[in-house]
A and B are shown apart, each in its own frame.
Chain A
Amino acid sequence: MSETPVVSRARLPRGDAEVLARALREDPELGGRFTAWHDEAARDPLHAPFPPRLAPELVAELERLGLRELYRHQARAIDLALAGKDVLVATRTASGKTLAYTLPVLQRLLETEGRARSLWLFPTKALSQDQSRSLQGWIERLEKPWHSFTYDGDTPPSVRRILRDRGEIVLTNPWMLHQGILPNHGKWSELFQDLAFVVVDEVHTLSGVFGSSVANVLRRLVRIARHYGSDPRFLASSATVREPALHAQRLFGREVVVVDEDGSGSGKRIFAVYDPPLVNPVAGLRANALEEVRRLAPHVCGPSHQTIFFCNRRTSVEVLTRYLKEAAQRLGLRPAEIRGYRGGYLPLLRREIEAGLKDGSVKVVVSTNALELGIDIGSLDVAVLVGYPGSQASFWQRAGRVGRRGRSSLAILVARSDPVDQYLAHHPEFLFGAPREHLGVDPDNLVLLSEQMKCAAFELPFRTDASGTVEGFGASPNLPGILDYLAEESKLLLKRAQGERLVWHWVADAYPAQDVSLAGNEPDNVLVYDEEGKAIGEIDRASSITSVHEGAIYQVEGETYEIERFDYANRRAEARRVTSDYFTEAETDTEVRVLRLEEQETRRTVEGREDWSVWRGEVHVTTVATLFKKIRFYTRENVGAEDIVLPPEEIDTEAFVLTLSGELAAELGLASGDGQGGNGAAWAGVGRLLRRVSPLFLRCQPSDLGLSSEIRSGHFQMPAIYLYDRVPGSVGLGGALFRDHREVLAAALEVVSNCECALGCPACIGPVEEVGTRGKEVALRVLGHLVERDTQG
C-alpha cells in the first residue's frame, strides 16, 4: 500500500532524473534519436479532510501512518462507498486506490461489530498475498478479533473450515471463486449472509475472454448473495481506461459511480520516445530495440538510483537480464544488483527480488508485465519500456512504476521495428492523450454465457419472474433458449413449472465448474523441471507449445536450459541446464474454415459492382506448431531450425474478414492465378500490418488475434484476410474490428506511407525478403484504395 512508511534508501538528489534526461537529450550520439519529449509538471496533490463518518480509531491509525488528510478522490470514494454506492476508482498507479476501498470496508466492520463481511478479488495470487499482509496489519493495529485471509490453492484444508466460518475479509482470485467458493456456497453461507462488499482490484485486466467470464462469475456471486439475503456493493479499482463507467457497467451488470479525478500529487514526470537508428535505410531496418537498450543502459542505470526495464516477452527479459549482468561493471553495479523478474519464477524468488527493490539493494530489475500490477515494490526512478506494451493502460501502469511525490522521474519508450511502435514514435500524442482503446467485455457471448449458466444452475436453480424473464443473469434474449438447450439437449437441467413461473434445476452427476475455464492466465500451467526434478518455472498452457517444446531453450534469470522432454498431456516439461549461445523462436501454421457469416458491409463501385467487403462470422481454426528457429544471442543470426511435433490446437471462434473483388484485386496488382507469388506476399503483409495496429483500438495484444490471409480464398473465391479471436468462442474482438475497421485501415495506411523505408521493412509491411520488391507499393495501393473509397462513402 502506498501509505506504508517509506524505507529510507539511497536516493538521487532532488531533480536528478532531470539531469539524466538533460544528458540524454544533449548526448551527441543518442540525443537525435528521441522523437518526442513530454514533460508533465509536478502536480500538487488535491487534499480533502477525513470523511466525518470515519471512526476515530481509523483516523488515529491514519495519523500514525503520517497522514493528516486524504486525497480528494480517496475521500470521495469512501463517502460514496459508505453511502451504499457501487464505486470504481480509476486513477493512476500509486494514487492510493487501495486505501480508498480498504477504509470503507474497515469502517463498516467497526460499525457492525465485525458483521459486515467482504470478499476481495485480485487478478493474481501474488497480489492477494501482498494485500493480505497489509490488511492483517490494519486489523492487528485496530486490535480487533477479525480475520482476513487468502483463500487460494495454497490454503491448507485444515484451515479452510475455520476460515469459512470466521473470516471477515476473504481474499481470493477469480479462479478460486469460480471453482471453489461459488459451487460450494453452502459451506460459505456465513460469508454470503453478511456480504457487504465485493472488492475487485485492477478491473482493467478484466477484458477479453477472461473479463467476460469473470463478469459471469460475478453474476453468479450476486445471485448467491441475494439468495442468502445480502446485497453487496462493488468497490473496484482500475488504471485509467477509456469509458470506465461503461466497462464497469458491463462487468458488474449495474451502474457504478466512477471516481477518476486524480488528487494524488507527483513530482515532475519526463517521458521520452526513443526510435532506434535506421541501420539499413534501403530496407528501412532499425536497430534491434534490445540492442539499443544495452546502449542506453549506462545512461539510465547506476548505483545511486533504481531503474526498471519492462519487456513484453519472457525471452526478452532473460536475454536483457543476461546482457545487463554481463555489463554490470560498466554500469557501476555488481551483477547481484541486477535481477530478472517474471511470472514463471517461483514465489520465494519473487519475494526476495521484491524485498530487494523495496530496501534498495536491487538497483536494476528487468520484468515482464508481472511488475505492472500493484505488487508493492515502492517507487523507482527510471523506467525503460522495451517496446509498446500493447495498451495505453499498460503503458501508464508501467510508466507509473517511477515517480514519487517531490521527486522527478523519467520514463522512456524504446520503439521497436514494429508498426505500432513506429506509429507511436510519430504520434506520441496518442500516448499522452485520452485513452482510445476499447476494453472488450461481452458476458453474453454465447459460448461463455452457456458454460457459465451451467455452473450457475449447479449452484441455484434458474427461475423466471412474474413477467416471464429469467432472473439474475443479465438481459441476453438467449437466456431461456440456453436453459432449454441445457435441459433438452445436454440433459443437465430439469425444467418444471411452478405456478406461473418456470424453474430449471440442475440434475446431473457432474461438477461443471471443474470443466469450465475462465481463460486468462489459468492455473492450468505447465511446470518446468530441471534434471534433479526441481521446478524451475511455469508457463501457461497456450504458450507452452511454442516455448517448452522439445529442443526449446528455456531461460531463468539469464541461465539457459534445453527442454529435453515435453509431456503435453500431463503439463510437464523436463529441462537440462546447458550453456547455450542461442535462444529459440517457434513458428505456427494456421488454417481457417468459414462456418457461417453473420454480418456484411460491402462497398460498391460507381457502376454498382461489388468492390470490397468486410464480414463478421464464425470460423473453425486449426493451428499447428511447425518448427523452431535457433537465434544467436547478440548477433540474432539464425543458426538452424528443427521441427516441432505436437498435436494441433483447434477452436471455433469469431472472425473479421476483409475481401476484395476479383476486378479490384487485378486493378491493384494483387490478381491471383498468374503465378506471381509476390502479390500474395504483399497481401499477407497487409494482414500482418492490420493485426499489429489493431491493439491501438482494441484492448488486446497482437497475439490475441489470429491471422490468416489467402490470395484466393476457397470460401470467397477472392483475396481474403481473416483476423480472429484466438480464444474459443471469442470475446468479440472480431466484432469490434468489424465495427472499427475504418480506423484500423486508416492507421495501417498511415504507418506504411510515413515509413522511411524504400521497399518494406519490419516496421511497416514487413521486410522486402517477405513481401517482395513490389510489396510496399502494392500494399500502399491496396490500403490507399480502401481508405479512400471509404471516405467517399
Chain B
Amino acid sequence: MSERTELFQRLARVRREGTPGAVPPASQARAAGIPAGLERVEGDCGGFAARVRRFATSDRHGTFALGEIGAASAHDLAFLCRDERLLALDLSRAVFLDIETTGLSGGAGTIPFLVALGSFTEQGFALWQGFLCGPEEERALLAEVARRLRAASGVVSFFGKTFDRHRLEDKMRIHGIAPPFDALPHLDLYHPCARLYRGALGDGRLATFERVLCGVEREDDLAGSFAPEAWFDFLAGRAHRLERVFLHNERDVLSLVVLAAHLGRTLEERRADGSELGGPGAARAAALAKLLAAEGEHQEALTWAERAFERAASRVRGLEFLRAGLKLRLGRSDEALGEFERIAAGERDELALRALIEIAKLCEHELGDRERAVAVVECARDLAPVVLVGGARERALAALDRRGVRLRKGRA
C-alpha cells in the first residue's frame, strides 16, 4: 500500500467523513455551458473574466422602463433612508451592485465569484459582470471592482450595507486594496422597502418587493442559494448551471434599477407618466406618516395618516394612536382627547395603556382636571400588569406611581 493511500485511509477513519462518491473527471468539456459573451480581462494584478450586457432605457423590467430612474427624486430616497448623504447621490452616475458568493457566513474563505456593476451610459444601461474562473483571480477582479466603484458617485444595492459591502471590503483588505466604500453614498434599497412595505407584504425579500412594487415576474430563475454549488461545479469542469447564475444576478441588478425608480416616486405616488404608483398604498401612507412625525413634520404626517385611514380596509389602532398624537402636537387637543378615549375604550392592549397615560396628561395639563387625572392613572395602573411584562412593566408602574403621587400632592 502506498504511503499516500495509507494516509488517506487513516484520515478517512479518524475524520469519520464516510466514503465520498466518485469524482467526476475534471477534464470534462469546460466549454459546455459557459456564459455567452464572457471575455478575458487582463490587468496589472492578473486576469479574470467579464461580460457586458447593454440595455436601452426603454427596455422594461416588470412594468417599469429602466429609464424611469431619471424621474426618481433623490430627496425622496434620502428621506426614506433617513440618510442625508443620499441627497448628493446622482443615480445616473451611480453603480448598481450585486454579488454572488460561495456562502453567506462571511469570513476570509467566502469568495465573491461574480460581481455585477450596472450603470447608465449615454447609450442606455450597461451591466458589467466580473467573474472568477478560479479563486486565484480574486485579487485582479477586486482591483477592477474597486477602480470602477471609485469612479462612481454612489452605490445602489439591496441589503448591500449589511452583506455585499462587507464581503468585498474584507476581501479587498486581504488583498491590500483600499476599499472605496467609505467615500461613497450608499443607497441600500432594503431599508426603505422594509420600512414602507414589509409589514404589509409579510417578508423582506427582494423577490417579493420587485413583484409587488414593479411587476417583475421571474421565470426559470435559479435561486441564489444554488449559486455556490453552481460555481463549485464550474470549477470541477461542469459549467451547466453557470449561465443561470449570471441571469439571476442580472435580474437582481435590473430589479435594483426599477425598485429605485419606484421608491424615488414615493411621495408623489405617481410614476413619471402620471400613472398611479403600485404597491400597498395604505401601508405606504402609514409608514410615511410615521417617518414624517419622527422628522417633526406634524401637519404633513397628519395628512398621510388620514390617507392611510381612507385606504385601510380595517381599523388600525397604531395608526389611530399616531393620528391622535399628531393632532395633540398640532394643538387640536379636544380632537386628540376624543381619539385617545376611543382607543382606551377599545381593546385592552398596550396602546390602550399609552392612551390612558396621554389622557391623564391632558387632564392634568390642558384641562386642569386633577381629579379625573388621578382616576385615569388608577385605571392605567390596573391595566399595566396585564399588557406589559418584565422590565417594561416595572418601569411603567414606577412612572405611574410617581405621576399618581404628584397628582395627589397637587390636589391636596
A446 and B109 in contact, given A186-B173, A508-B232, A509-B103 (Cβ under 8 angstroms): no
| A460 within 8 Å of B (CB atoms) | yes
Once the chains are docked, how many angstroms separate the CA of A211 from the CA of B123?
Answer: 63
Once the chains are docked, how many angstroms separate the CA of A338 from the CA of B241?
Answer: 70
Partner-binding segment picked from B12-20, B89-97, B320-328, B390-398: B12-20
Which chain B residue lies CB-closest to A179? Answer: B107
Once the chains are docked, how many angstroms separate the CA of A481 from the CA of B8?
Answer: 8
Once the chains are docked, how many angstroms separate the CA of A186 from the CA of B8?
Answer: 33
Query: Is A186 in contact with B170, judged by CB distance below 8 angstroms?
Result: yes
Which chain A residue lies CB-closest to B23? Answer: A488
Per-residue CB contact flags for chain B residues 334-378 toward chain A (1 = under 8 Å, else 0) read: 000000000000000000000000000000000000000000000
Of B12, B106, B111, B228, the contact of A489 (CB 8 Å cutoff): B12
| A498 within 8 Å of B (CB atoms) | yes
- Residue of A458, A490, A507, A729 with most chain B CB atoms under a 10 A cut-off: A507
Q: How many A-B residue pairs have CB under 8 A?
A: 108
Of A186, A478, A490, A510, the contact of B17 (CB 8 Å cutoff): A490
- Residues in B neighbouring A652, C-beta threshold 8 A: 13-14, 16
Once the chains are docked, how many angstroms separate the CA of A127 from the CA of B329?
Answer: 54
Of residues 109 through 149 on chain B, the ones whose CB sits less than 8 Å from some CB of chain A are 109, 111, 134-136
Query: Is A458 in contact with B107, judged by CB distance below 8 angstroms?
Result: yes
Of B105, B108, B136, B172, the contact of A459 (CB 8 Å cutoff): B108
Once the chains are docked, how many angstroms separate the CA of A211 from the CA of B15?
Answer: 20
Which chain B residue lies CB-closest to A190? Answer: B173
Query: Is A185 in contact with B17, judged by CB distance below 8 angstroms?
Result: no
Once the chains are docked, how many angstroms separate the CA of A382 from the CA of B412?
Answer: 66
Interface residues on A, range: 35 or more
Per-residue CB contact flags for chain B residues 1-19 toward chain A (1 = under 8 Å, else 0) read: 0011001101111111100
B106–chain A nearest beta-carbon distance, Å: 7
Once the chains are docked, how many angstroms separate the CA of A457 from the CA of B219?
Answer: 38
| B243 within 8 Å of A (CB atoms) | no
Which chain B residue lies CB-closest to A459? Answer: B108
Per-residue CB contact flags for chain A residues 457-493 toward chain B (1 = under 8 Å, else 0) read: 1111100000000000000001001101100111100
Of residues 214 through 269 on chain A, the ones whose CB sits less than 8 Å from some CB of chain B are 227
- Residues in B neighbouring A503, C-beta threshold 8 A: 136
| A183 within 8 Å of B (CB atoms) | yes
| B174 within 8 Å of A (CB atoms) | yes
- Residues in B neighbouring A446, C-beta threshold 8 A: 10-11, 14
Interface of A, helix, strand, loop or mixed by DSSP: mixed
| B102 within 8 Å of A (CB atoms) | yes
| B169 within 8 Å of A (CB atoms) | yes
| B65 within 8 Å of A (CB atoms) | no
Which chain A residue lies CB-closest to B134? Answer: A496
Query: Is B108 in contact with A458, judged by CB distance below 8 angstroms?
Result: yes
Once the chains are docked, how many angstroms separate the CA of A447 from the CA of B136?
Answer: 28
Once the chains are docked, how many angstroms separate the CA of A571 from the CA of B17?
Answer: 25
Of A189, A508, A512, A618, the contact of B173 (CB 8 Å cutoff): A189
Once the chains are docked, how many angstroms separate the CA of A652 from the CA of B10?
Answer: 11
- Residues in A neighbouring B111, C-beta threshold 8 A: 507
| A506 within 8 Å of B (CB atoms) | yes
Query: Is B109 in contact with A184, judged by CB distance below 8 angstroms?
Result: no
A489 and B8 in contact, given A184-B108, A189-B174, A507-B135 (Cβ under 8 angstroms): yes
B392–chain A nearest beta-carbon distance, Å: 18
- Residues in A neighbouring B23, C-beta threshold 8 A: 488
- Residues in A neighbouring B20, C-beta threshold 8 A: 489-491
Once the chains are docked, how many angstroms separate the CA of A446 from the CA of B15?
Answer: 9
Query: Is B11 in contact with A511, judged by CB distance below 8 angstroms?
Result: no
Query: Is A507 in contact with B102, judged by CB distance below 8 angstroms?
Result: yes
Once the chains are docked, how many angstroms separate the CA of A568 from the CA of B4?
Answer: 39
Query: Is A186 in contact with B169, judged by CB distance below 8 angstroms?
Result: yes
| A494 within 8 Å of B (CB atoms) | yes
Of B7, B12, B108, the contact of A460 (CB 8 Å cutoff): B108
B305–chain A nearest beta-carbon distance, Å: 33
A176–chain B nearest beta-carbon distance, Å: 14
Of residues 168 through 198 on chain B, the ones whose CB sits less than 8 Å from some CB of chain A are 169-174
| A187 within 8 Å of B (CB atoms) | yes
| A505 within 8 Å of B (CB atoms) | yes
| A450 within 8 Å of B (CB atoms) | yes
Of A457, A482, A595, the contact of B13 (CB 8 Å cutoff): A595
| B291 within 8 Å of A (CB atoms) | no
B116–chain A nearest beta-carbon distance, Å: 20
- Residues in B neighbouring A481, C-beta threshold 8 A: 3-4, 7-8, 11
- Residues in B neighbouring A460, C-beta threshold 8 A: 108, 174
Which chain A residue lies CB-closest to B170? Answer: A186
Query: Is B108 in contact with A447, judged by CB distance below 8 angstroms?
Result: no
- Residues in A neighbouring B170, C-beta threshold 8 A: 184, 186-187
- Residues in B neighbouring A498, C-beta threshold 8 A: 136
Query: Is B232 in contact with A507, judged by CB distance below 8 angstroms?
Result: yes
- Residues in B neighbouring A451, C-beta threshold 8 A: 15
Of residues 298 through 329 on chain A, the ones whose CB sits less than 8 Å from some CB of chain B are none
Which chain B residue lies CB-closest to A227? Answer: B174
Query: Is A485 in contact with B108, judged by CB distance below 8 angstroms?
Result: no
Of residues 686 through 737 on chain A, the ones whose CB sits less than 8 Å from some CB of chain B are 729
B382–chain A nearest beta-carbon distance, Å: 26
Once the chains are docked, how many angstroms separate the CA of A502 from the CA of B314?
Answer: 67
Query: Is A185 in contact with B174, judged by CB distance below 8 angstroms?
Result: yes
A184 and B107 in contact, given A488-B23, A489-B17, A652-B16 (Cβ under 8 angstroms): yes
Query: Is A461 in contact with B103, judged by CB distance below 8 angstroms?
Result: no
A694–chain B nearest beta-carbon distance, Å: 23
Once the chains are docked, how many angstroms separate the CA of A757 from the CA of B366?
Answer: 94
| B235 within 8 Å of A (CB atoms) | yes
Once the chains are docked, how many angstroms separate the CA of A183 from the CA of B8?
Answer: 26
- Residues in A neighbouring B106, C-beta threshold 8 A: 184, 511
Which chain A residue lies CB-closest to B167? Answer: A186
Of B15, B107, B173, B235, the contact of A450 (CB 8 Å cutoff): B15
- Residues in A neighbouring B228, C-beta threshold 8 A: 509
Of A187, A485, A505, A508, the contact of B136 (CB 8 Å cutoff): A505
B96–chain A nearest beta-carbon distance, Å: 24
Which chain A residue lies CB-closest to B227? Answer: A509
Query: Is A505 in contact with B135, judged by CB distance below 8 angstroms?
Result: yes
- Residues in B neighbouring A189, C-beta threshold 8 A: 173-174
Query: Is A458 in contact with B109, judged by CB distance below 8 angstroms?
Result: yes
Query: Is B103 in contact with A485, judged by CB distance below 8 angstroms?
Result: no
A730–chain B nearest beta-carbon distance, Å: 9
Query: Is B102 in contact with A447, judged by CB distance below 8 angstroms?
Result: no
Of residues 612 through 645 on chain A, the ones whose CB sits less than 8 Å from some CB of chain B are 618
Once the chains are docked, how many angstroms separate the CA of A40 from the CA of B20?
Answer: 63
Which chain A residue lies CB-closest to B111? Answer: A507
Of residues 516 through 531 on chain A, the ones whose CB sits less than 8 Å from some CB of chain B are none
- Residues in A neighbouring B8, C-beta threshold 8 A: 481, 485, 489
Of B3, B105, B235, the contact of A511 (CB 8 Å cutoff): B105
Which chain A residue lies CB-closest to B107? Answer: A183
Query: Is A729 in contact with B103, judged by CB distance below 8 angstroms?
Result: no
Once the chains are docked, how many angstroms separate the CA of A511 from the CA of B110?
Answer: 9
A295–chain B nearest beta-carbon distance, Å: 50
- Residues in A neighbouring B3, C-beta threshold 8 A: 481
Of A185, A227, A490, A729, the contact of B14 (CB 8 Å cutoff): A729
Of residues 203 through 244 on chain B, the ones whose CB sits less than 8 Å from some CB of chain A are 228-229, 232, 235
Once the chains are docked, how many angstroms separate the CA of A618 from the CA of B11?
Answer: 12
Q: Would you list 30 pairs from A and B whose C-beta atoms are within 8 A, ordered by A residue?
A: A184-B170, A185-B174, A186-B169, A187-B170, A189-B173, A227-B174, A446-B14, A450-B15, A459-B108, A460-B174, A461-B135, A482-B11, A485-B8, A490-B15, A491-B20, A491-B232, A494-B134, A496-B134, A498-B136, A508-B103, A508-B232, A509-B102, A509-B103, A509-B229, A510-B105, A511-B103, A511-B105, A511-B107, A512-B109, A652-B14
Top-8 shortest CB links A-B: A186-B170, A458-B109, A509-B103, A505-B135, A189-B173, A511-B105, A506-B109, A183-B107
With A447-B14, A491-B232 given, name 19 new contacts (CB 8 A): A184-B107, A185-B108, A186-B174, A446-B10, A446-B11, A446-B14, A482-B11, A484-B4, A488-B23, A491-B20, A496-B136, A506-B109, A507-B135, A508-B109, A508-B232, A509-B102, A509-B105, A511-B109, A652-B13
